[in-house]
Structures are given as structure tokens and as C-alpha cells.
Amino acid sequence: MADSGNAATLAQLWTDDGIYEVVGFATATGHSEIAALIDGPVHQTLMSDGSGHLLGPLTIDLEGDTAVACGHSVVFRNGTQGFEVHRVSANL
């Protein structure tokens, strides 16, 4: 969904006080801050260059009203030689 650029819809995947952190880049809390990351210059440049995210597999641990998702992601970016790996990460 991040690659569609629909920041408001993407942000609704989190709770009102949800946290989205990209280590070494930014931490956003709540819908407006999370949407701002997608609307911001770093993500917009990735989109204009041509990019894609691959996620999975995921595990989700539930405890009461708290959920923690773990998985891996790869971001590809269209460079001068075609698509190349831009970022690989383990996600929590």
C-alpha cells in the first residue's frame, strides 16, 4: 500500500497511537505522522524513481489488546542499471 502513495489510507492500518519506525530514518506516532512519512520527500522520491516493497512472511503475536508483527522486507528501487535492492530489513 505504501507504493500507491495513499498516505491517509495506509496510516489507518495503525491505531490512533500506533508507532511506525524506520530505524536510522524516522519514527512516527499516530495517523498524521505516519501519513506524513509517506507524503514526505524521501518516500515520494522512491516512488518517482520507481520502487517496490516486498514483505513477508509475517508472524503476529497477540497478548490482550496488543499485537506485535514480525517479518522481513526488501525495498527495490529503479536505478541506472534497472531495479536494485535499496533496503533489506527485519521488521518488528
Which CATH number fits the domain that encloses residue 26? 3.10.450.50
Provide the whole-model pTM.
0.77
CB 47 within 8 A of CB 5: yes
Domain span at residue 72 reads 2-91
Number of folded domains in the chain? Answer: 1
What the block records as the C-alpha cell of 37 is: 512519512
Q: Can you spell out the DSSP letters for 15-33?
A: -TT-EEEETTTEEEEHHHH
Strand positions, DSSP E, the chain: 19-22, 26-29, 51-55, 59-63, 66-79, 82-91
What's the pLDDT score for residue 62? 94
23-46: pLDDT as tens digits: 788 899 999 999 999 999 988 888
